[in-house]
Amino acid sequence: MKHSLANDYYQHRLTIKRKNSNRRTEYSGKEAIALEMNHLSESIITNKQPKTPGKEGLQDVRLMQLIYQAVHTDKTIKV
C-alpha cells in the first residue's frame, strides 16, 4: 500500500470526551474518505456550509507547500 507523506489514510481515530464519558471510534482510510465525501455531498445538496470549509483545506495545502520548500531549501521559513 502506498502512503501519502501527509496522511497515511490507513487508520483514523476519533475520541469524543465528555464530562462523564469518552467515546472512541476508529475508521479505516476508505471509511474516513467515504464519510467525508458523503458529508460534502449532503452539504451541497442541502446548501449548507460543510463542517470543514474550503479555506481550511487551502490553508493546509499552503502550509504543506511551505514545509516542502523548507525541506528542499534547507531553510527556516517564517509563517
**CA 67 to chain centroid:** 16
In the chain, alpha helices (H):
29-45, 54-73
pLDDT in tens, 12-68: 777 888 889 888 887 766 777 788 889 999 999 999 999 888 898 899 999 999 999
Is the pTM higher than 0.75? The answer reads: no
| Per-residue pLDDT, 61 | 93
Instruction: Give dist(CA 30, CA 43) in Å, integer.
Output: 20
Question: Whose grid coordinates read 517564517?
Answer: 78
Q: Which tens digit of pLDDT belongs to each residue from 26-42?
A: 776 677 778 888 999 99
